Amino acid sequence: MEYLYEMHAHTVEVSVCAVATAEEMIEYYEGKGYTGIVSTNHLNNSTFKQAGLSDVSWDEKIDHFLKGYELLKKAAGDKYNVILGMEINFYNHPNDYLVYGITEDFLRSHGDLMAMRPKQFAKLAHENGLLVIQAHPFRRGMVVEDWKILDGYEIFNGNPRHHSGNETAEHWAKIHGKTIVTSGSDFHEIDDAAIGGIYFKKPVKTNEELLEELRSGNYRLKITDIPYTRPE
């Protein structure tokens, strides 16, 4: 038996580029065969600027960030396992990084994470047992990160409004021997639901279990034809 998890999802309560609420996301995913969802709302400057939180404390920013995860958990109830993750973007840097295994304590304990450089953040993440995955590394506007600081790559991104160079990302991961590769719908709105994800061999309920399964490589990716709705 396999258990399908969404690995890349945003809701409008935090990610200002999203349209769907946490409740709408859960409604859209019902009946799609998923067991769980990793909440990867954006931890970036736009998140806080557009929420009017540019000048508040880091703890207040994290309060806002965690609100999206809590709302998703509440909306999911017992329908899905909801796990905390994030998609971080650093100041004055183009790339996005999916981070798996994060906790509230990690988010609050190291100051403004967005002020770090990717190499510095990756070192901190690894010291705390986290995984750092470059999201959609070959999407227009991205810079392919130094493979040595990453745990892997998102090789299938299902966002239908971007051409993310998925085939190139898959080839790049193979060249550099990255066995941790991921697939995600990059959910922002209804048309994004259930395009990508990962099939695990057992249900994953905690961050520790998620990290263990990703490191094991004992999973397969959900890859579907992407219904592009807007050419990039």
Question: For residue range 84-103, what is the model confidence (pLDDT) as tens digits?
Answer: 999 999 999 999 999 999 99
- pLDDT of amino acid 229: 83
In the chain, count H helices and then E strands: 7, 10
Indicate the class that CATH gives domain 3-222: alpha beta
Q: How many CB atoms lie within 10 A of CB 129?
A: 11
Rounded to two decimals, what is the model's pTM?
0.97
- pLDDT of amino acid 232: 62
Query: What is the C-alpha to C-alpha distance for residues 37 and 218, in angstroms, rounded to an integer?
Result: 18
Question: Which residues, including other chains, have CB under 8 Å from residue 202's CB and lie 6 or more apart?
Answer: 3, 209, 213
- pLDDT of amino acid 49: 97
Helix, strand, coil tally for the chain in percent (to 5): 35, 20, 45
- Domain regions of the chain by residue span: 3-222
- pLDDT of amino acid 223: 97
Per-residue pLDDT tens digits of the chain, which is 232 residues long = 999 999 999 999 999 999 999 999 999 999 999 999 999 999 999 999 999 999 999 999 999 999 999 999 999 999 999 999 999 999 999 999 999 999 999 999 999 999 999 999 999 999 999 999 999 999 999 999 999 999 999 999 999 999 999 999 999 999 999 999 999 999 999 999 999 999 999 999 999 999 999 999 999 999 999 988 876 6
Task: Determine contact, residues 111/58, Cβ cutoff 8 Å.
Answer: yes
- pLDDT of amino acid 227: 81
162 conformational bin, left if phi > 0, alpha if psi -120 to 50, beta if neither: beta
- pLDDT of amino acid 231: 63
